[in-house]
Structure 1
Amino acid sequence: MTVPGYRNVPAEEWDPAATADPAEAEEFLRLCYNEVSRLGPVEPRLAVVRAQIAATGTYVHTTEELVWGAKVAWRNASRCIGRLYWRSLTVLDRRRARTADEIFALLVRHLDVAGGGSAIRPVVSVFAPARPGKPYARVWNEQLIRYAGHRTGSGVVGDPRYASFTDAVRTMGWRGKGGPFDVLPIVVQGPGEGPRLFELPERAVRQVPITHPELGWFERLGLRWHAIPAISNMRLRIGGVDYPLAPFNGWYMGTEIGARNLADPDRYNLLPVVARGLGLDTSHEATLWRDRALVELNRAVLWSFERAGVKISDHHTESARFLAHMRNEERAGRPVPADWTWIVPPMSGGATAVFHRYYHEADQRPNFYLDAEAAALARGVGMRPALVAAPLAA
């Protein structure tokens, strides 16, 4: 199978009413018990799983299977350049949480574990799996921490990517301060419940002011970015069992912020602003004003995070680490799925080693998937205000 999203190939549509695939379950368990030798022989476990699927349409992972499966899903994530440390992933088993209040409390705890101290740790929180034909929990936000996009008569204040989502949560009662970096509320939907809004407490949202090591005027731009990139709307699939709510995070590569979030024309579009501050000639493209502004914006991001003691990586270092990951996997006899269009950094790609090669294109499981409905909800499409309670204080 091709990698979901690779060259715009759509992911296989998920059917929440479908039963677990016994063949996929067996493939996963044989791989798991082969790589984790302390688990012992796999045949007795296979017999139990086959019986569970026959009786209920699904089966229950042991804690060891869940932990290993989540780590391998990161190992198989074709769009992630930071997979060298897949074994270090902290897996939080949250399968017992049911209500929106319980789920939100554990989402806050996820952020605490991921970045509550001096380091940023890779963490995944795995909530209850979907059962055939039964309601399941999910978070509608694309990430646990993102900034609102407030529509005004003169344009969008904040992040235009989330303008429609901001519109939707405003109809649910949320207002925000109308600034460029208002943290969006979390929309949590428990099994069988309507969606509800929750405000993240300030202590859970670690943010870094963006300044520059040499350019004093940079501080006057009032820029900032959050420290933890926690994806919250992708479905984790392990051995034929789907976990619709499994938020996960690593740490930022600087270009994600400096070359995309703050630089893209349909996001914060700061390259013209930085170019003016630098006094560059923007009258025509051949002056390479965009490139020069891009470098200084990315320098500012890296310097600011390092100054604040928040873990971040530059794209050259991360490219070298990815090739080290590939060598490790090749020695283990495992292919490395990768989407070239995501692995190559969005800045100075040709100057990195990952640019100059091709990659294995495959959908290896366990893995994470973005479903069309989840993507639509993250854009604010399909939200039903009548089902939503008033915003809750954290």
Structure 2
Amino acid sequence: MLGKTEIYEAAHSFITRAYSELNKTPEETRSRINDILSEIQQTGTYTHTFEELEHGAKMAWRNSNRCIGRLFWDKLRITDARQSESPLEVASLLIQHIEKATNGGRIIPSITVFRPETAISESIRIWNHQLIRYAGYETTDGIVGDPDSIAFTNMCNKMGWTGEGTDFDILPLVIQQGNQEPEWFNIPRHAVIEVHLEHPEIPSFSSLGLKWYAVPIISDMALEIGGITYQAAPFNGWYMGTEIGARNLADSFRYNKLPLIAELMGLDTHSETTLWRDRALVELNIAVLHSYKKAGVSIVDHHTAAMQFRSFEEREARSDREITGDWTWLIPPVSPATTHIFHKSYNDEVRSPLFQYMERLY
């Protein structure tokens, strides 16, 4: 935790910028800064108003250098969960987040913010990487499920959770309050929409039994606003198709389905010059986009996402704000050179408010 001087300086910077964007008067800004100073002197910390929390979370999305979907930063829906008292209550609110954000498939960008760790309160930590994720198991016949989830799955097993041992077992929520032992909670099946993948021109594609969940809800990044760090602040947008079709299901260290798809397509995999990986990759991404749209679940292709990012750049320029970005993350993993992002450079400076990675607890 920051000292009083550091917290005040961070708060002063945040309030000055946020209140200007919110069209507050100079008098309102000065009054709020004075109130914060007094609160910090008395308690060592301060409490954001809902308006400050809401706008700060939106600014953090706007400052997310690795996110291509920032055009919609000001549409983020905030749930203030700072009064939650127990892991059970936290779990209930997380399930509500899943259901409300999923919205029957018409996904709503959302964030639920739990209380921060301060001099006067214990923190809440969510151990999951995403609220919804598939388990991974090491078996004598090889890995079943998501290899990226093996360590977390093993920890859940040690805590008493048992999955069915399939490729697509939904992991439980694991929540810790302060220094207490973490607790796990199953996510009700009805709360999770999954999309079964099929291909519009390859009928046999559905025989692969591939599927993915509707909403990516990141839950292991902290939200920092004005010197206050919220360690539990899960947030979501909607998927860009390549996240599923070019990474989750395609990476050799994840589900590694390209060889299977190539075989299904009858491609020659004996030589890389046949570009069988590329051909299988494109068809997998077509299947993802087709299936999500057929299921009525929000998703965006990487070309549209890049055009939306261009619109974001133009809007920020009109607001006299410099774009920051991590080029290596902003370019899509499929055909990056076909987007304008590939041919530009970005300032990768990290600015507050922001979402920041935390050290894993398992």
Q: Which bin holds the TM-score, normalised by the shorter protein? A: over 0.9
1:93-112 counterparts in 2 under 5 A?
93-112=80-99
Aligned partner letter, 2:254: R
Aligned positions, number: 360
Unmatched 5+ stretches in structure 1: 1-15, 382-394
- What secondary structure, in the 3-state scheme, does the structure 2 residue paired with 1:120 have? coil
- Would you say 1:35 and 2:21 are equivalent positions? yes
Computed over aligned residues only, the root mean square deviation of the Cα atoms, in angstroms, reads 1.3
Could you tell me which residue of structure 2 aligns to residue 120 of structure 1?
107
Q: Deviation of residue 351 (structure 1)?
A: 1.0
What is the alpha-carbon distance in structure 1 between the residues aligned to residue 160 and residue 50 of structure 2?
A: 39
1:95 deviation in Å?
A: 0.5
In the other structure, the counterpart of 1:23 is 9
Give the C-alpha shift of residue 133 in structure 1.
7.7
Higher mean C-alpha displacement, 348-357 vs 305-314 = 348-357
> More displaced, 80-89 or 353-362?
353-362
Letter in 1 for 2:23: S
1:36 is aligned with what amino acid?
A: L
Would you say the 8 A contact 1:18–1:133 is kept in 2?
A: no
| Alignment pair present for 1:194 and 2:195 | no
Q: What CA distance in whole angstroms lies between the structure 1 residues aligned with 2:125 and 2:157?
A: 20
State the Cα deviation string for residues 294-322 of structure 1 (Å, max 9, x = none).
Answer: 00000000000000000000000000100
- Which of 305, 321, 331 matches 1:334? 321
Alignment pair present for 1:149 and 2:149? no
Any unmatched runs of 5+ in structure 2? none
Aligned to 1:37, what secondary structure does the other structure show?
coil
Aligned pair partner of 2:146 in 159, 164, 187: 159
Higher relative contact order (CA 8 A, sep 6+): 1
Runs of 4+ in 1 over 4 A off after TM superposition: 17-20
Q: Paired residue for 2:292?
A: 305
- Contact kept, 8 Å, 1:337 with 1:361, in 2: the verdict is yes
* Alignment partner of 1:60 is 2:79: no
Task: Output the CA distance in 1 between the equivalents of 2:43 and 2:120.
Answer: 11
TM-score, length basis structure 1: 0.89
Secondary structure of 1:150 counterpart: strand
Deviation readout 1:321-373 (Å, 9 max, x if unpaired): 0011011001100011100010000111111111110012211110000022x
Partner of 1:3: none
Say whether the 8 Å CA contact 1:18–1:132 is kept in structure 2.
Answer: no
The Cα of 1:17 is off from its aligned counterpart by: 6.4
Distance 1:118 1:205, change over 3 A: closer
Once the 2 structures are TM-superposed, how far is the Cα of residue 204 of structure 1 from its aligned partner?
1.2
Matches within 5 A, 1:202-217: 202-217=189-204
The answer to whether the Cα contact below 8 Å between 2:105 and 2:193 also exists between their aligned partners in 1 is no
Are residues 1:178 and 2:165 paired? yes
Amino-acid identity (%): 47
Contact residue 138 and residue 190 of structure 1 kept, 8 A = yes
| Aligned residue in 1 for 2:262 | 275
Q: TM-score, normalised by structure 2?
A: 0.97
> Is 1:231 the equivalent of 2:218?
yes
> In structure 2, the residue corresponding to 1:116 is in which secondary structure?
helix
For each residue in 1:82-121, what CA deviation from the matched residue of structure 2 results, as whole angstroms up to 9, or x when unmatched? 0001110001100000200000000001011101334100
